[in-house]
Amino acid sequence: MTVRPPRPVTVVGDLSTLPASASGARHLVWWGNTGFMAIEGTGFALAAAAYLYLMTQAPHWPPPGTRPPDLIWGLIFTVGLILSEIPNWWVRRCALAREVRGVRIGVAAMTVTGLLLLIPRGFEFAHLNTRWDGDAYGSVVWLLMVLHTTHIVTDWGDTAVQAAWLFTHDVGDDQFADVEDNANYWRFVVLTWLPIGAIVYGLARLW
Amino acid sequence: MTPAAERRDRLALTWRDPAGWRGFLTTVDHKRIAARYIVTALLLLFLAGMLALDMRWQLSTAENTRMGPQLYNESFSLHGSTMLFLVSVPVMEAMALWLVPLMLGQRNMAFPRLGAFSYWLYLGGVLTLWIAHALDITPDLGWFEYPPLSGPAYSPGHRADIWAQMITFTEVAALCASVNVAATILKMRPPGMTLARMPVFLWAMLVASFMTIASMPAIMLVTTMLIADRLVSTHFFAPDAHGDVLLFQHLFWFFGHPEVYIIFIPATGFVSSIVETFSRRRLFGHHVLVLAILAIGFLAFGLWVHHMFAVGLPRLGNDFYTAASMAIALPAGLQMFCWIATMATGRPWFATPMLWMLGFVSTFVIGGLSGVMTASAALDLQLTDTYFVVAHFHYVLVGGAMFPLFGAFCYWYPKATGRLMSERWGRIAFALIVGGFNLGFFPMHLLGLLGMPRRVYTYPAAMGWEGLNQIATAGSVVAVAGGLVFVANALWSYRHGKPASADPWGASTLEWAGEAPSPPWNFAYTPVVDSLTPLWSTNPALPVMEGIAIDRREVLVTSVTDAVPLYRQKSASPSIWPLAAAVAVAAMFIGSIFTPWAVAIGLLPIGATLTGWFWPHRERATTGPLRTRS
C-alpha cells in the first residue's frame, strides 16, 4: 500500500524535559480511576433511588412483621470503616511523599483492615432480619448491601495484590501513583457507605 | 521539513504489533481495535437489516403466513436489540476510538488495553445473543423486556436471561470505552488546544461519554435485578411481594432515553466536521453548537418518562416531561440552523459525504417534528404502540445517526485506507438508501394514524393497511439494495479506489495532518494548535514539538482546560491480558445465567487475569523484609 506523506512540519519546541510521571489530578490514571468511581457512584445512587421508589410505593415499610436491621453490627462496621480512613489517609500521604517504607507498611495495614472489616459486615448480613427472597423490601436491602460489600471485597483484593507487589519489587513513580489511586478508591468506598448505611438502617426505622 | 526516514523506522519498531495471530489477539492499536469494532457492527447492521426485510416481507400482504407470531416476536426482538445495543452505540464508540487520538495528534488512547478489553467484551455480547439465536434461544420480548412478562412466571427458559446478559456485556464494554475516550480528550489534547479550541467532534464525543457514564449503570442495574428475580427469587418487580413493575420501566428509560442521544450526539460531531470541510469555511456558531450539545446532554436525562405516558402516571409528571421533551427541540434546532448557515454562507462542495449531510438534515428534521408531536402526552396516548412511533424513531435514529455515520464512513475512508471511494457509486448508494428509507418509513406515519399497532405479525385485509404496507416493503427493499451498493463500493475501493492524498478534502482538523493510511504511531511529532482550524492556517508547515520518546511507547499528558504540557506518560504495549480478562468476565456472565455461584467463583479468574494485566514489570526489591538477598 502506498503511503501518502504527511503535511510538512516545523519544530517549535521540545517536550523531552518534561517529567516522566505526576501525581494527583495531573496524572492520567487519576482520571480513569475517577471515571470508574463515577460509574459505580451512579450505580449506588440508582440502587438507592430504587430503594426510595419501592419504599414510597409500599403501604408499609418494612412490611408488617419484619424488624428493621439490628443496629449493633452496622454501627461497629461504620465506626470501623470511618476509622480505616486514618491509615488510608496516612498511606496516601506516604505515596505523595514517595516514601517506600510508608507505602509498604500502609498498604499492608489496609489489607488487614479490609479483612477485619469483613467480619462485622458478615454479621450485618446475619442481622438484616430479612431475606432477599422474602419480599421487595428484603430484595432491595440485600441489593444495597451486596453492592457495597462487592466494593469492599474487590478493593481488598486489589490492596492485597498491591501489598504483595510492593514488598517484592522496586517501587517507582507509577507505583506511588497506583497506591494513591487505591487510597482514593477506598475513600470512595467509605463515603458511599454513609448514605447507603443511612438508608438501610435509618429509613427502615424512620419511614 | 517532513519526518526523516530514520525517525519513522524507529517509531515503526517501537509501535509495531507482534506478527500474525499473536498480534491480532494482543494489539492495543486504537485503529485496529476500532476497525474491528466497526466491521463487527456493520456486519450486525446487515444481519439485523435482513431481519427487518424478512418482517417487511411478512407484513407486505394481509394474513401472510411467512412467519408465525413466535418467529415474528423473535425477529423484532433480535432486530431491535441488535440495532440498539450491538450496532448504534458501539459503532459510535468505535468512531471515537479511531478518531479521537488522531484528532488530538496523539499516538494512542489514554488506556490502550482498556480499549482492547472493551472490544473483546462487546464481541462476547454479540456472540451471546447470536449464538443463542442459532441455538433457538432467541429473546422474544422486544428490545426492552418489561416485567412481569419477562419475569420468572411468564418467561420460563433462558430467552430473557440471554437478552439481559447481552446487555451487561455491551454496557461494560461501552462504559470502558467511555472512560477511555473522556480521559483521552480531557488529558491528552495537544499543546494549544484549549477547551475553547477543541473541535465540535471532540466535544460531541466527550459529552456522549459523560452521558454513557451517567446513564448506562441504570440498565446494568435493572437487568441485574431482572436476572436476580429470575434466578434467586428476589421480588423487585413482583407486585404481590411489594415489588413494582414500573420500577423496571423507570430505570430502563433513565438509560433508554439518554441512549438515543448517546447515539445522536456523536453524529452531530460527524456532521460538524463534514459540513465545515465541505462548506470550506469555519463552522458558523461554533460556541452555539458546543453549548447546544451540552444542553442536549443535560436535557436528555429529563425526558425518560415520555416513554411511559401510557402507564398512568400523575398528570403533573406528564406535563413536566412534555415540556422537557419539547424543550430539547430548541438546542437541536439551534444546531440545525448553525449547520445550514455554514452551508449557506460557505462554498459548498457536494461530494458524497456532504450529500449524506443533506440527507441527514431533511430526514432528521421530519423525525424531530414527529418527536415534538409525540412529546404531547395527550397525542402520545393515541399514537403510542402504533406504527407512527416506529416511523418516528427510525427517522431520528436512521436519519439522525446512521446517515451521518455513512457520511462519516465516506469522509474518513481515505484516511483509513489511503484510497477514495467511488463517487459515482457513492451517489447511487446515497440515492437508493435515502430514497428507499423515506419510501419505506414515511407510510408508517399514516399506518400509525390509521391505527396499525406495532409488533403485530399480521393483520386482516379489511383493515385497509395493505397498500401502505406494500409501499413500505418496497422502500425497504430499495434501501437494502442501496446498502449493498454502499458496502460493495467500500470493498471494491479498498483495492481499486483512486489513491487519495493525505488530506484529500482539504479539511481543517489534525487527523488529516499525518500520513494516509495512518501508521501505528499516528504522528512523528506532537502538533501544536493555535486555532479551531489548525490545518487552515496560512503557514503551510504544521508547528510541532519534539521530545516525546520514539524508542519506547510514550504519550503526552496535558492540563484539562488549557492543554499545557504536564508530563510524558508511558503507553501500554500489546498484551494478551485484556483478552484473558474478557474471557474470564464472559465466563462469569454466562455462568450467572444458570447459577448464582458463578458470580462468586467467577471472581477468582477475573481477579487473576486483572492481576496479570496490571502487574508492573520492575526489578525485584532491594530493600524491605522481602528483598532479594544475593
Determine, yes or no, domain membership for A91.
yes
Stretch A169-197: mean pLDDT: 95
Please report which residue ranges of B195-244 form alpha helices under DSSP H. Answer: 200-231
Phi–psi pair at B551, nearest 5 degrees: -100, 0
Q: Which residues contact B601 (CB under 8 A, 6 or more apart)?
A: B588, B591
Yes or no, beta carbons of A31 and B623 under 8 Å apart = no
Residue A8 falls inside a structural domain = no
CA-based nearest residue to B31, from B437, B514, B403, B365: B514
The answer to whether residues B370 and B392 touch, using CB atoms and an 8 Å cutoff, is: yes
Q: What is the mean pLDDT of residues A77-87?
A: 98
**Would you state the pLDDT for residue B2?**
62
Picking from B292, B265, B269, the residue whose alpha carbon sits closest to that of residue B208 is B265
Interface test with A, best of B234, B496, B610 (most A CBs within 10 A): B234
Cα separation of B476 and A37, whole Å?
A: 44
Return the ∠ at Cα B376 (arms to B370 and B380), rounded to 5°.
Answer: 75
Nearest to B235 among A3, A38, A135 (CB): A135
Residue A41 has which C-alpha cell? 457512584
* A143 within some domain: yes
CB pairs under 8 A between A and B: 248
- The answer to whether the Cβ–Cβ distance between A6 and B616 falls below 8 Å is no
A1 within some domain: no
Q: Domain B259-457+468-520, what architecture? A: Up-down Bundle (1.20)
- The distance of B613 to chain A (nearest Cα, Å) reads 12
Q: Which three cell numbers stand for residue B309?
A: 405516558
- Test A2 with B187 for CB contact under 8 angstroms: no
Residue whose cell numbers read 507498611: A105
Helix (H) or strand (E) holding B422: none
What does the DSSP assignment read for B509-522? SGGGGS-BSPPTT-
Task: Give residue B630's pLDDT.
Answer: 62
Q: Is residue A151 part of a domain?
A: yes
Residue pair A114/A155 in contact (Cβ under 8 Å)? The answer is yes
d(CA B236, CA B248): 8
Is A86 domain-assigned? yes
Return all residues near B597 (Cβ < 8 A) that are at least 6 apart.
none
Contact B97, B30 (CB under 8 A): yes
Domain that residue A44 falls in: 28-206
Residue B539, pLDDT score:
84
Contact B244 A35 (CB under 8 A): no
Given this model, what pLDDT does residue B3 score?
65
Structural domains in chain A (count): 1
Residues whose CB is less than 8 angstroms from the CB of residue B600 and which lie 6 or more positions away in sequence, other chains included: none
A198 part of a folded domain = yes
B434 contacts B359 by C-beta, under 8 angstroms: yes
Q: Rounded mean pLDDT of chain A?
A: 95
- A194: in domain: yes
List per-block mean pLDDT (blocks of 10 residues) for chain B, which spans 630 residues. 82 96 97 97 97 97 96 98 97 98 98 98 98 97 95 94 96 97 98 98 98 97 97 96 96 94 97 98 97 96 88 83 88 96 97 98 94 88 95 96 98 96 98 98 98 96 97 98 98 96 95 93 96 91 95 97 97 97 98 94 95 88 79
How far apart are alpha carbons B441 and B155 in whole angstroms?
32
Convert B134-170 to b/e letters by CB count within 10 Å (16 or more is b): eeebbbbbbbbbbbbebbbeebeebbbbbbbbbbbbb
Q: How much is the pLDDT for B316?
A: 81
Listed by start position, the domains of chain B span 259-457+468-520
Residue of chain A nearest B543, judged by CA positions: A10
- Residue A4's pLDDT is 65
Q: Compute the distance between CA of residue B77 and CA of residue B62 in angstroms, rounded to an integer.
A: 22
Give the chain A residue nearest B496 (alpha carbons): A1
Residues of B with CB below 8 A from A168's CB? Answer: 620-621, 626
Segments of B520-603 assigned E as strands:
526-527, 542-546, 554-558, 565-570
Nearest to A169 among B221, B247, B621 (CB): B621
Q: What is the ipTM of this complex?
A: 0.95
Q: Compare CB distances from A139 to B234, B525, B626 and report the shortest one's residue.
A: B234
Nearest by CB: A170 against B544, B548, B620: B620
- A42: domain CATH number is 1.20.120.80
Q: pLDDT of B430-489, one tens digit each?
A: 999 999 999 999 999 999 999 999 999 999 999 999 999 999 999 999 999 999 999 999
